[in-house]
Structures are given as C-alpha cells and as structure tokens.
Structure 1
Amino acid sequence: MTSDPLSTPAGTPTENAPLEGVRVLDCTQMLSGPFATQLLADMGADVVKIERPDRGDITRSVGPEIGDSGLTAYFTSLNRGKRSVELNLASEEGAAALERLAETADVLVENYRPGTMAKWGLDYDDLREVTDELVYCSISGFLEGPYRDMPAFDMVVQALGGSMSITGQADGPPARPGIPIGDICAGMYAVIGITTALYNDESQYIDVPMFEGLVSWLTERAGRTFVTEEPYPRRGTVHPSLAPYRTVETADGWFAVAIGSDDTWTAFCEAIDRPELATDDRYAANNDRVEHRESLTAALEPIFEQRTNDEWFELFRERGLPGAPVQDTVEVFEDEHLRASGTLDELTIDGVDLPFPTCPIEFTGKTTRSGHEPPRLGEHTEPVLSAVLSDEALASVLGR
C-alpha cells in the first residue's frame, strides 16, 4: 500500500478505516465503476477521480440538479468523498500525468470500452512498465467472446442475462428491474476482486464483466431451469415453489407475505384468526398450497384489506412472522430501523438533505467514512498533479 500518500481532503476520517492508506485512481464514469470506487471510498480508500476536461463524468449532466448547486443527484450518489482531477487521457500530456499518478497508486479502475485504455497507452501492460505493484481493474460488458466489443449498458446485459425475462407480471411483458442490477453487480464483483488482490499483495489485472456477473446471480433460478428444462417463470411477486409468498393489497398499500415453511404457515393462520386454513386439506402442506394458490389467494385478499400496512407489520413483528410493507423510496429513508442502524451519510447540499447509504458492512474495531460532499469538476487537479509533475509538465496539462 502507498506509504507516501498525496495530501488527502481536509477532515477525511480515514483513521482506522479498513482501506486506510490505499489510493485508487478512478478512471470510470456512469454507474458500474463509480459504484465500485464509492464502496472503496466508504471503506477509507483515497479515491482520485480522473475526469474529462470541461465535461467530466457523464452523470454530471444527468438531472435532476440539487438545488442550484451545479451538482446532480446521479453524480452525487456515486462520487462522495472523492477528489476530481481533470485530465485528457487521449493526449500525450494527460497520459504521461496518469502514469506519474499510477506510480503513487495501489489500484486503478476503468470502465471504458475494451481497447480504449490500450489505445491511449494506459492499459495494464503499459502501466506495469512504470510500476509493478498496481492492481488494475477493468469493468467491461463481456469477457472474451462474440459480444466482447458490443456497447454494454445495464438494459443490454439485463436483457441478455436472463433477469429481465423473469421480472414482471405473469401475463405482462418482460420488465427491467427497478434497480440497475447489471451495473451494481459488476461494481460489487470489482470490489471483491480488488480487495482480494490487495490481500494477496501482488500486482493483478482483473477483468470484471457485467453480463457474466449478472448471469451468475441467477443461482437458484438457473438450478430450477436445469432441472425442469423450462424457462424460469415470470410471476411478479409470486414465488413458483412457495405459498403464500407474494404481495397482497391492504387497506392503504401493499404488504409482502413470505411464508416459507408449514410451521410458519400454522403460526400465520393463528395470527390472522383463521386457524381452520391450517388444517384445510388444500392448504395443510406447502405443495398443496402451491397447487391451490388461486383459491388460497382469494381467501387471504379480503382478510388483508381489513387492516393497514402499519397494523399488519406490527402484528407480524409481534408474532415473529416474515412480512413487511412495500415501502417507496421516500418511505425507506424515513424507516426507523435504517435510521437507527447508522448506515446513512447525512449529507446536505444547497439546503437539500441527502441521507445517502454508505457501505453497510460493519468491521470490528474499524470505521467507515461519512459526511463528504462530491467534488466539483477539477476541484483537486492542481494540488494532486503538483505532487507528481514538474512545474513545466503541470503548466502543460493545465494549458498555461
């Protein structure tokens, strides 16, 4: 790990953080790469974000803007606590500056289309000529194969990777999950690969694909497909092998019920004051309930319509039953448990409260970072580059 760190932002609480002393060059944009480097920053790494002059990360221009701050919600959600350096990597001066920065770094992450960094003379083999201690991570759409050079966006890998085909109502079209899981999956695998390489304390090239990563998330869905030789069914919130395991409408919203065993089913029937359902031959065992799913749903729907989400949640918690109200993205950040867990970064920009979640992993005796704003474009260009470039080289990069 870097023993002579460049000066870090004032007030950065990296002391006793899991990745304290690790420096990361973040040559990424959009979502997959910035999500990975945001996790690394949350765990204490010093992340230097390399951005295109004048334009920066694409998400700097993807609204909505936060008040009149000039910062967008998209960019802020993925780049807190990083430092921004403007460099034109396609230029000779910019590429040379990145080489000097690589000499001071432990990790470089990039998510350009395959071959882009090589075109600029900045791929893993190029940088190994200036440092043999760098962990170099590329986040790509696909590993080597027919799709390798295809442009990869979350929508594309979700369509190809199977997740879209199993999302949506049974009688409706395929749907894209509301969370960009293709991007996030790749970002998480990138962090796993990077921290593994750092643990092994050796230079590594890591290629992390969105498509193959998302296919690996099929897990049980893939297993069922192999056994039945049929596509995994699209059923909305209904589980194909468990019942009742779905959302039901209440007096004021939707409630998720997740009954995973016959014992839990019996306890559930007692809690809703319908013990006779537990002994009904149609519903006594899970396989029976799956077979008679429609009549079971018809029996439960009028029961749940009699109470509110809060009333059902209180009952389920009292009885130790698995179930919860479906919360929207406003309600979840007001959730009492989330607030009490200490995982929110209580950030305020231009009068707008932004309680972004930080890395939720708890480490014994370690702390993670919080309370940091995203950088303005090029905010740290001069102080960061002045530590590795001569006055003449710095003036050339800055166009002076």
Structure 2
Amino acid sequence: MTSTSTAPLDGVRVIDCTQMLSGPFATQLLADLGADIVKIERPNRGDITRSVGPNVGDSEITAYFASLNRGKRSVELDLSTADGAAALEALVETADVLVENYRPGTMAKWGLGYDDLRTVREDLVYCSISGFLEGPYRDLPAFDMVAQALSGSMSITGEADGSPARPGIPIGDICAGMYAVIGITTALYDGAGQYIDVPMFEGLVSWLTERAGRTFVTDEPYPRQGTVHPTLAPYRTFETADGWFAVAIGSDGTWQSLCDALERPDLAADDRFETNNERVAHREALTAELVPAFERRTNDEWFDLFRDYGIPGAPVKDTREVFEDEHLRASGVLSDLEIDGVELPFPVCPIAFSGSTTQSGHEPPRLGEHTVPVLSESLPDETVAAILERRE
C-alpha cells in the first residue's frame, strides 16, 4: 500500500457494508483520510438514511445521507443471494478492509463472515460494529438510545431536578465509529489482517473516564447537574442579554481574572469565594451574585471581554451559528460541497498532519451510481449483466 499521495490512506480500499450512522461515520472518516470506499447498498432501497428527510433541495439525496457518505462509490448488491455474495467475494479480493454493522451473525449466515472472507483475502481487516461484545446483551437490537441508557451516559445528562436526557449528538453511534477507525488503522499498521469487533455499549462506558473514577471513590452515582460541574465553580452556563454563555473557571487564578473582568473586587475578597472548594460549598450564593451580572451584556460583549482577560468561556452557539463561526471558517476544515444549489460545508476529518492532508468534501453517490464500473473491475461482463438483470 505504498502511496504517492499526501492523503494518509491513499491506496487503501474499503468495502463498506454499513448503513445508518455508526458504520457510515467510520467509513466517512476513512474516506476523508484518502481511502477508496465502495459502499454496498440494497438494490432499489439503499441505505436506510436515503429515505430519512429532509432532502437537499430538489435532489434525491437526503441531508442525513449526505452527512455520512460523501466521496463514496455506491454499488447495489443483494448480499443475501448467491450471486450477490459471490460478487462481494470478488470485490474483497482487491480490498484491504471490510466494515459491516449488521446484527451479529448476519454476514456469517450469508457466507460472508470473517472466516469465510479471509480465505479470499488472507490479510483482510474485517471490522464489525455492533451494540455489544460477547455477553448477555450480545443479541439486543443495537440502537444509540439503548446504548446510552445502559452505559450510564444518559443518567448524567440533563438538569439536576429533571429526567435523564439523551445528548443532542448520537454519541453511541459516533463513539463506535471512531473506535472502528482506530481499530482499522491499527490493524492496517500491523499488516497481518484480523477480525475487529467494535461495540457501542462498552465504548460509551469507556468514555465515562473521570465520571467513573468519581463513582469508584465515592460509591455514589455521578450526579446529573445540567451544565454545572460538581467539583468546580463557577463552571456552568449563564443567561445573557441575548443568549447563553458558558463559563469554565478551573482555578483560583482565573476566578480572580473573572472578578477583575466583572469589576467586582468584592467577590474576590469574599471569604466564601476565595478558593474553589469554598465556591463549591457556597455555590448557590455565588450563582445569585453572577446571574444578574451576566444578564447585563450580550454574548459578543462577554466573549470579547473573556478573551481580553484570558478567561475560559464562550457563547453557546446553535447549529446554524457554528457554521458561520470565524475560526471554523479560517481553520480550513470545511468542504465546499454544494448539491442542487444548497451549500453543505461539512467538515472533513479535522486532523492536521504535518506531512499529509485530508481529502476535500465530495458529493455523496446516487444509489447504484458505481455498480457497473466497480463490479466490472472484478467480474466478467456477462456476470455483471446477470446481476443487473436480477436486480431489476
């Protein structure tokens, strides 16, 4: 896999037998890093997200599908049929990686499990993304909501006096997708080929990190506190004159800077707020002092002031505002993708390499757009014609 390109994974071919979010997110990252992604889709239906609106302009591409499948090549194959399975085997002969996220055992039932395909390509890296590793939950339906509920992450999300909340981002799916990329690139580096099983549930549990550590030490569940930090203060959002502003005071020095910015030397001199432990112990009194102060200025005014004083803090931006952010646009991670007159500046893989570059955004494929050219690389013309005839 010697490369003449600056893309880190140029020359790597990935067979993508995934749909929805976790698998396509993983293969989208691999595409951004330069891999050739051949996406296998069910004839006439394709990835489930092709039918999850809204559509981009008047095109047949949905926003959901476009967000996860840019730059891939789409091939329609029914893997449950003998000719579909045989075609996939032919594609695997020239592939380095296969990624799938069907329910455990499905690919093996079709004769396309790891043990089957490594006889075709001995050094194949075969990655399965599932809900759970081997254990009592192995065969549970793997949805992001289920993984979040079981993993503890949902229990610590939401307001203290409210119900558990699902984070706004599908972190179970994304967590599994990122671990899949780590596993795949590690296995490619090893070079021998192997099977990788990547779970959503165990992955999310590993993300508990400090939350787990606090639980082990106190033998108490980590508290649900909204944006408030249980051991730092002030560390939360405050309502401003035109929105919400996140404040992250992690040391007594930055607390002093905040008091200077607020022009409140009385707060800095108050014994109740002198140290972080004291501020945590007197959190309610501290909040009562700060709430009216933050209401007097706008988000932009606070952001300018915080940067002038070197204080950690930022306005809470919505998903429209963030793509207008001056820093994000200057960082060079946004693509110039446009479909049917709609701009879709999705970020490419946001890793800055000193000697490599990630790929720019490409259009997502139409269903089956690359079936003939891709299959023709590995199969006789008459076999390709027969597959297309049965597909119809």
Query: By the TM > 0.5 criterion, same fold?
Result: yes
Question: By how many angstroms is 1:371 displaced?
Answer: 3.3
Question: By how many angstroms is 1:395 displaced?
Answer: 1.6
- Contact 2:36 2:72 (8 Å CA) reproduced: yes
Structure 2 unaligned regions, length at least 5: none
Structure 1 unaligned regions, length at least 5: 4-13
Pick the aligned partner of 1:324 from 296, 299, 314: 314
CA displacement, residues 23-74 of structure 1 (integer Å, 9 cap, x when unaligned)? 0000000000000000000000000000000000000000000111110000
- Contact 1:2 1:23 (8 Å CA) reproduced: no
Distance 1:311 1:366 in 2: 38
Partner of 1:360: 350
Distance 1:395 1:37 in 2: 28
Question: By how many angstroms is 1:368 displaced?
Answer: 1.0
Pick the aligned partner of 2:330 from 333, 340, 347: 340
Distance 2:268 2:188 in 1: 54
Question: By how many angstroms is 1:190 displaced?
Answer: 0.2
Question: By how many angstroms is 1:358 displaced?
Answer: 0.8
Distance 1:398 1:82 in 2: 20
Partner of 2:233: 243
- Confirm or deny that 1:262 pairs with 2:223: no
- Contact 1:344 1:358 (8 Å CA) reproduced: yes
- Confirm or deny that 1:177 pairs with 2:185: no
Partner of 2:39: 49
Distance 1:111 1:39 in 2: 16
- Confirm or deny that 1:168 pairs with 2:158: yes
- The 1:129/1:2 distance shift into structure 2, 3 A limit, reads farther
Identity %: 79
Aligned partner of residue 282 in structure 1, secondary structure: helix
Aligned partner of residue 240 in structure 1, secondary structure: coil
- 1:132-143, aligned counterparts within 5 Å? 132-143=122-133
Distance 2:172 2:355 in 1: 33
AA at the equivalent of 1:250? T
Partner of 2:70: 80
- Contact 1:65 1:71 (8 Å CA) reproduced: yes
- Confirm or deny that 1:61 pairs with 2:75: no
Question: By how many angstroms is 1:268 displaced?
Answer: 1.0
Distance 2:326 2:2 in 1: 40
Distance 1:170 1:65 in 2: 38
Question: By how many angstroms is 1:315 displaced?
Answer: 0.5
Pick the aligned partner of 2:89 from 82, 85, 99: 99
AA at the equivalent of 2:355? G
Pick the aligned partner of 1:274 from 264, 267, 279: 264
- Contact 1:2 1:104 (8 Å CA) reproduced: no
Pick the aligned partner of 1:227 from 204, 212, 217: 217
CA RMSD of aligned residues (A): 1.0
Distance 1:311 1:319 in 2: 13
CA displacement, residues 177-218 of structure 1 (integer Å, 9 cap, x when unaligned)? 000000000000000000000111111100000000000000
Structure 1, 72-81 or 363-372: larger mean CA deviation: 363-372
Distance 2:129 2:389 in 1: 31
Distance 2:118 2:5 in 1: 30
Partner of 1:144: 134
Partner of 1:23: 13
Partner of 2:184: 194
Partner of 1:350: 340
Aligned residues: 390
TM-score computed with the length of structure 2 as normaliser = 0.98
Distance 1:310 1:114 in 2: 50
Distance 2:381 2:165 in 1: 54
Distance 1:365 1:214 in 2: 32
AA at the equivalent of 1:153? F
- Contact 1:65 1:72 (8 Å CA) reproduced: yes
Aligned partner of residue 245 in structure 2, secondary structure: strand
- The 1:2/1:138 distance shift into structure 2, 3 A limit, reads farther
List 4+ stretches of structure 1 deviating above 2 A. Answer: none
Question: By how many angstroms is 1:2 displaced?
Answer: 8.5
